[in-house]
Chain A
């Protein structure tokens, strides 16, 4: 007897939805409305008067915005269809986004941040009326201080690179306060630290010295010895590095920096493998940062606003970005009067919804739960590494044969030399199986790189599925390379034209620019018609 439901194949026959959905502006249908408000009753109108002219001129638009006019149901369909043309973290086994894997962001926390208690808040309202959220910020700061071993935390930054920028800005201010600002003009980093460290240091005016791994694949302490001098302002390192290798001599690195009066800055954006196991301050670091969206279960990048946390030792507390939340008696206040502060690096007090999500995430897990997160993330990673290294043509260069912490930067170099199929091509083909895949930051230090990071969120079955996809694509690279070379086959978009991205003349990041650059100056007629219709409806409303 045949089964009523066919058994599913081992590898998914994924196919992305194709809706050929127009751009939302192209859906513009003059006169259509999402909401048609009721006419104001005569008595109300009389009592209130002319609302529009009562508004200050600075708040009034002389011309209505040229927004598309569309019915509610059509708008809903539009965005649902777009979401189906996406390969989001809630759909795929997202471990291929190594260093930036989306761990599961618990949905219960979405319910919390959507309560009117939070959504109705305004950053400029009297803090006396926002005591609850300030208490959450204050408490989250203390929990992150405990997790890092540091003295104080600022949650103001809205992303990892911004947090790194705050780190180097505090370091610069610290040296300047001691009269050593001119003397210390160099920052040392490693080639496998996140490149934002080198970038932020350069932005801050420092010369950047990069250290390559030693013969065993570990950060080269002898090179550091050769590099440090009284000109060194700081070492800025990620640990574990992007290879997933933990620097076993990290204490020596910090001590070397301190021996010449430099500070030690720790990029802990991704602390998935070390939560509750090591602490930055215990290793002697002066400053570190976390990305709430990599470690603490909040949305991330294009999936939502990022959020950073800067944690510092006592000596750097005066330089923290601000304002900071202080507890005075049983009240929470904002302290913006901190003369040595590097000032605001982001608007207001940080990305409040993410701080609330982080607070909820940490409180739900507790200290033993945080440690379990790290242990599971490391176990998942080393299990996946074993499965990946079983695939002929895949390797894990540097510190070969050693365990890794929370991620691994692998290489397809052997497969590439054998077949001519590159890591990028493998990644494009992996999408045909419904899997996201990423190579590496530039420069590609590991040849033909790919970076996998399972975090604690993914099950053994999902890790097996991901490894099976890569094994299949590697087999295809050998046996049917054209299938890989001409991929993707199951996606809505084939190859994108990168040339357009390199040419400012062809960038069109707004509807108006798209009209102007691709259809000429006179082609804004449709949009202009929209403006006229909206204007007409606004004046009708005003007259009503």
Chain B
């Protein structure tokens, strides 16, 4: 089981500099000017040392120079370089998102069965972009923004997972790749989108948001939650199926060809419209009994306003007094570690109305009552280095 590594040499540079991210050449220059230091390579070395302890002298497929080769060497492993950034390895400050995507593609082409990457959400997105769907990835957390579910909890955990992967013993689970537009984040309006669902190797406790007993039981838990939501869907009601892994499973339970990353309109077991915009969604539900079926997206606990912006304030307001059918595994709630679910529709009055407690469907005969807050009212917690 060959492991490939790609490092985004610039990941994380903007975090300590207070720049809410590291995307774009101008921000990177400013980060360097403010004394920002890239940390992705050192985090990758930390992970690889754990892999090296289990598999001394192992060969790791990677990209030249700062994009992986250096880290592999420093950890005492053997690099096999399968990609070189055009600007040459020496010019480490001028790699681009396309380099990450091309490197990921080259790693896959050279036979990597797992693509390790060191970076943040932006890097995750570029890696996913470079790979055909279904190729397992695992993030070594090194970025500023890490909303995605494909990161290990720390570099050492990533290394341990990679070691078990090399032993050929790990199953995978599906994780979300989310990224937000940093310029809008700096303007105080985070707007992350769900870019992809990727397989991630899983061992209990070693990936963020992955602590179920076994991956099999986690897949089963997603299925049970989706089955529970299906059982609660009433005839004559128009449902807006939001994006996400659990709502995608609901589509499969209903036997419908829904879009995992978009919003679909469903009524009486029929697919009325696929992948609608906010305006189309509004037209579809206006004046009818309707509900939005949403799930918890990313590690921060958002049910509205992250990855499902098609469900705009006007759409949600048009859904009546009980606008949401929330479906998620119990584990998603556990992963919030006591923090409330969040809504951020862009309309503070609507958010205030939605705040309180929500019923979250977790299975055919199970649900949780869970607190929900307006995002503006609740500080968003997370890795203090990252957010």
Contacts and interface: CB of A to CB of B under 8 A. Distances in A.
A536 interface: no
Interface stretch (A262-270, A416-424, A527-535): A416-424
A419 B156 contact: yes
B31 interface: no
Interface stretch (B116-124, B244-252, B265-273, B328-336): B328-336
Contacts of A212: 333, 338, 368, 370-371
**Chain B interface mostly:** mixed
A206 B363 CA distance: 12
Contacts of B156: 417-420
Contacts of A542: none
Given A215-B338, A443-B213, A416 B369 contact: no
Interface string A215-238: 101001011101100000000000
A419 B157 CA distance: 8
Interface stretch (A123-131, A310-318, A444-452): A444-452
Contact of A217 (B334, B338, B359, B371): B338
B365 A227 contact: no
A458 interface: no
A226 B366 contact: no
Interface in B205-222: 205-206, 211-214, 216
Contact of B369 (A226, A422, A443): A226
B334 A443 contact: yes
A444 B330 contact: no
B330 A443 contact: yes
Contact of B356 (A191, A226, A418, A420): A226
B20 to A, nearest CB: 23
A207 interface: yes
A210 B330 contact: yes
A58 to B, nearest CB: 43
Nearest to A228: B369
> Chain B CB within 10 Å — which of A208, A210, A220 has the most?
A210
Contacts, number: 97
A211 B366 contact: no
B204 interface: yes
Contact of A210 (B206, B356, B362): B362
A482 B51 CA distance: 11
B50 A227 contact: no
Given A198-B366, A223-B371, A420 B333 contact: no
A209 B369 contact: yes
Contacts of B159: 420
A208 B366 contact: yes
Nearest to A216: B338
A61 interface: no
Nearest to B160: A420
A418 B367 contact: no
Contacts of A442: 212-213
Contacts of A227: 357, 369
A410 B43 CA distance: 28
Contacts of B214: 502
Range, interface on chain A: 35 or more
A223 to B, nearest CB: 4
A12 interface: no
B331 A223 contact: no
B308 to A, nearest CB: 23
B348 interface: no
A211 B368 contact: yes
A72 B222 CA distance: 55
A299 to B, nearest CB: 28
B153 interface: yes
Nearest to B329: A443
A516 interface: no
A416 B157 CA distance: 8
A251 interface: no
A120 B330 CA distance: 50
B338 A223 contact: no
Nearest to B152: A420
B154 A420 contact: yes
A243 to B, nearest CB: 12
A514 interface: no
B366 A447 contact: no
B371 A208 contact: no
A206 B369 CA distance: 16
Contacts of B50: 420
A363 B210 CA distance: 49
Contacts of A220: 371
Nearest to B335: A447
B337 interface: yes
Contacts of A226: 356-357, 369
Contacts of A224: 369
A209 B213 contact: no
Contacts of A217: 338
B114 to A, nearest CB: 17
B185 to A, nearest CB: 25
Interface in A400-420: 416-420
Interface in B125-163: 153-154, 156-157, 159-160
B32 interface: no
Contacts of A202: 365-366
A231 to B, nearest CB: 12
B89 interface: no
Contact of B366 (A207, A419, A448): A207
Given A207-B366, A420-B154, A482-B53, A447 B211 contact: yes
25 contacts: A206-B365, A207-B366, A208-B365, A210-B366, A210-B367, A211-B368, A212-B338, A212-B371, A217-B338, A222-B357, A223-B370, A226-B357, A397-B337, A397-B338, A416-B153, A420-B154, A420-B206, A422-B205, A424-B205, A443-B330, A443-B331, A444-B205, A444-B211, A485-B160, A502-B214
Given A220-B371, A416-B153, A417-B157, 20 more contacts: A207-B366, A211-B369, A214-B371, A223-B357, A223-B371, A224-B369, A397-B337, A416-B205, A417-B156, A420-B50, A420-B154, A420-B156, A422-B204, A443-B212, A443-B330, A444-B205, A447-B205, A447-B211, A482-B53, A502-B216
Interface of A: 191, 198, 202, 206-215, 217, 220, 222-224, 226-227, 397-398, 416-420, 422-424, 442-445, 447-448, 481-482, 485, 502
